Chains A and B, each alone.
Chain A
Amino acid sequence: MPTSTITFRETGSSIKVTPVDEVSLEARAASLATRSIKTTSKRAALHLAIRCMDLTTLEGADTPEKVASLCQKAKRPDPSNHDVPSVAAVCIYPEMVHHAVEGTEGSNVKVASVAGAFPSGLSTIEARTADIADAVKRGADEIDIVLNRSAFLSGDEQRAFEEIVASKDACGEAHLKVILEVGELGSYDKIRQASMLAMAAGADFIKTSTGKIPQASSLPRVLCMAEAVRDFAQQTNISVGIKAAGGIRTAKQAWHYLVVIGETLGTEWLSPEMFRIGASSLLNDVLLQLNRLDSGSYSGPDYVTVD
Chain B
Amino acid sequence: MGNSNSKDESSLEDFGIEYASAIESTSLVNIKDKYGLFIDGNFVDSSSGKSFKTLNPSTEKPLSVVTEASSDDVDRAVRSASVSYEKYWKKMPGADRARYLFRIARHLQERAREFAVLETLDGGKPIKESRDVDLPLAAAHFFYHAGWADKLEYAFPQRKLEPHGVIGQIIPWNFPLLMAAWKLAPALACGNTVVLKPAETTPLTALLLAEVIRDVDLPPGVVNIVTGAGETGSAIVEHPEVNKLAFTGSTEVGKLIQRSAVKRNLPLTLELGGKAPHIIFEDAALDQAVEGVINGIFFNQGHVCCAGSRLLVQESIADYFIDRLQKRIELLRVGNPLDKNTDIGAINSLAQLERIDQLVKAGIDEGAEVFKPSCSLPENGYWYPPTVLTGVQQSHRVAREEIFGPVLVVQTFRTAEEALEKANNTPYGLSAGIWTEKGSLIHWMAERLRAGVIWANTFNKFDPTSPFGGYKESGFGREGGMQGLAAYLKNSGGNS
* Partner-B contacts on A (CB < 8 A): 1-4, 18-21, 23-25, 27-28, 34-41, 44-45, 48, 227, 258-259, 262-263, 266-268, 270
Contact with A along B9-45 (1 / 0, CB 8 A): 1111011111111100000000000000000000000
In the assembled complex, the Cα of A2 lies from the Cα of B289 at a distance in Å of: 12
Name the residue in A2, A27, A34, A268 with the highest tally of chain B Cβ atoms < 10 Å from its Cβ.
Answer: A2
Tell me the smallest distance from the CB of A16 to a CB of chain B, in Å.
10
Residues from chain A with a CB closer than 8 A to the CB of B4 are: 266
User: Do A37 and B437 have beta carbons less than 8 Å apart?
Assistant: no
User: Do A37 and B458 have beta carbons less than 8 Å apart?
Assistant: no
Residues from chain B with a CB closer than 8 A to the CB of A1 are: 317, 320
In the assembled complex, the Cα of A23 lies from the Cα of B289 at a distance in Å of: 11
Within 8 Å by CB of B10, from A24, A45, A267, lies A267
Residues from chain B with a CB closer than 8 A to the CB of A39 are: 20
Contact with A along B271-292 (1 / 0, CB 8 A): 0000000000011111111011
In the assembled complex, the Cα of A20 lies from the Cα of B457 at a distance in Å of: 11
Name the residue in A19, A25, A39 with the highest tally of chain B Cβ atoms < 10 Å from its Cβ.
Answer: A19
In the assembled complex, the Cα of A36 lies from the Cα of B342 at a distance in Å of: 11
Extra contacts, 12 of them, besides A1-B317, A37-B17, A38-B20 (Cβ < 8 A), are A2-B282, A20-B285, A21-B457, A24-B291, A36-B22, A40-B18, A41-B16, A41-B20, A44-B15, A44-B17, A259-B12, A267-B10
Known interface pairs A24-B458, A267-B10, A267-B11. Does A38 touch B19 (Cβ–Cβ under 8 Å)? yes
In the assembled complex, the Cα of A268 lies from the Cα of B378 at a distance in Å of: 29
Cβ of B341 under 8 Å from chain A: yes
In the assembled complex, the Cα of A44 lies from the Cα of B285 at a distance in Å of: 35
Tell me the smallest distance from the CB of B445 to a CB of chain A, in Å.
17
Q: Which residue of B lies closest to A39 (CB)?
A: B20
Cβ of B212 under 8 Å from chain A: no
Within 8 Å by CB of A48, from B9, B10, B17, B288, lies B17
Cβ of B316 under 8 Å from chain A: yes
In the assembled complex, the Cα of A17 lies from the Cα of B15 at a distance in Å of: 31
In the assembled complex, the Cα of A3 lies from the Cα of B282 at a distance in Å of: 7
Residues from chain A with a CB closer than 8 A to the CB of B22 are: 36
Tell me the smallest distance from the CB of A31 to a CB of chain B, in Å.
8
Residues from chain B with a CB closer than 8 A to the CB of A21 are: 285, 288-289, 457
Tell me the smallest distance from the CB of B109 to a CB of chain A, in Å.
21
Residues from chain A with a CB closer than 8 A to the CB of B340 are: 34, 36
Q: Please classify the interface of chain B as helix (H, G, I), strand (E, B), loop, or mixed, using the class held by over half of its residues.
A: loop
In the assembled complex, the Cα of A35 lies from the Cα of B333 at a distance in Å of: 11
Within 8 Å by CB of B320, from A2, A37, A263, lies A2
User: Do A227 and B15 have beta carbons less than 8 Å apart?
Assistant: no
Closest 8 CB pairs of A and B: A24-B288, A21-B285, A21-B288, A44-B16, A38-B20, A19-B285, A36-B22, A38-B18
Known interface pairs A36-B341, A44-B15. Does A24 touch B9 (Cβ–Cβ under 8 Å)? no
User: Do B1 and A263 have beta carbons less than 8 Å apart?
Assistant: yes
User: Do A3 and B316 have beta carbons less than 8 Å apart?
Assistant: yes
Residues from chain B with a CB closer than 8 A to the CB of A259 are: 12
Known interface pairs A41-B18, A258-B17, A267-B11. Does A19 touch B458 (Cβ–Cβ under 8 Å)? no
In the assembled complex, the Cα of A24 lies from the Cα of B460 at a distance in Å of: 12
Cβ of B216 under 8 Å from chain A: no
Residues from chain B with a CB closer than 8 A to the CB of A45 are: 17
Known interface pairs A1-B317, A34-B340, A39-B20. Does A267 touch B14 (Cβ–Cβ under 8 Å)? yes
Q: List 13 A-B contacts (CB under 8 A).
A: A2-B317, A3-B282, A3-B317, A18-B286, A23-B288, A28-B288, A35-B19, A37-B18, A38-B20, A38-B21, A263-B331, A267-B15, A268-B8
In the assembled complex, the Cα of A40 lies from the Cα of B20 at a distance in Å of: 9
Tell me the smallest distance from the CB of B25 to a CB of chain A, in Å.
14
Tell me the smallest distance from the CB of A168 to a CB of chain B, in Å.
27
In the assembled complex, the Cα of A27 lies from the Cα of B437 at a distance in Å of: 18
User: Do B18 and A227 have beta carbons less than 8 Å apart?
Assistant: no
Known interface pairs A24-B292, A36-B341, A40-B18. Does A18 touch B9 (Cβ–Cβ under 8 Å)? no
User: Do B19 and A266 have beta carbons less than 8 Å apart?
Assistant: no
In the assembled complex, the Cα of A3 lies from the Cα of B341 at a distance in Å of: 35
User: Do A227 and B283 have beta carbons less than 8 Å apart?
Assistant: no
Tell me the smallest distance from the CB of A274 to a CB of chain B, in Å.
13
In the assembled complex, the Cα of A258 lies from the Cα of B15 at a distance in Å of: 12
In the assembled complex, the Cα of A259 lies from the Cα of B333 at a distance in Å of: 14
Q: Which residue of B lies closest to A16 (CB)?
A: B320
Within 8 A of A (CB), among B305-319: 316-317
Residues from chain A with a CB closer than 8 A to the CB of B8 are: 268
Residues from chain A with a CB closer than 8 A to the CB of B317 are: 1-3
Residues from chain B with a CB closer than 8 A to the CB of A24 are: 285, 288, 291-292, 457-458
In the assembled complex, the Cα of A290 lies from the Cα of B316 at a distance in Å of: 50
In the assembled complex, the Cα of A20 lies from the Cα of B16 at a distance in Å of: 32
Tell me the smallest distance from the CB of A39 to a CB of chain B, in Å.
7
User: Do A19 and B283 have beta carbons less than 8 Å apart?
Assistant: yes
Within 8 Å by CB of A227, from B19, B282, B287, B437, lies B287
User: Do B288 and A20 have beta carbons less than 8 Å apart?
Assistant: yes
Tell me the smallest distance from the CB of B174 to a CB of chain A, in Å.
22
Residues from chain B with a CB closer than 8 A to the CB of A35 are: 19, 341
User: Do A23 and B458 have beta carbons less than 8 Å apart?
Assistant: yes
In the assembled complex, the Cα of A21 lies from the Cα of B22 at a distance in Å of: 30
Residues from chain B with a CB closer than 8 A to the CB of A41 are: 16-18, 20
In the assembled complex, the Cα of A41 lies from the Cα of B14 at a distance in Å of: 11
Residues from chain A with a CB closer than 8 A to the CB of B331 are: 263
In the assembled complex, the Cα of A267 lies from the Cα of B8 at a distance in Å of: 10
Residues from chain A with a CB closer than 8 A to the CB of B1 are: 262-263
Name the residue in B17, B289, B292, B341 with the highest tally of chain A Cβ atoms < 10 Å from its Cβ.
Answer: B17
Residues from chain B with a CB closer than 8 A to the CB of A28 are: 288, 291
User: Do A18 and B287 have beta carbons less than 8 Å apart?
Assistant: yes
In the assembled complex, the Cα of A14 lies from the Cα of B455 at a distance in Å of: 33
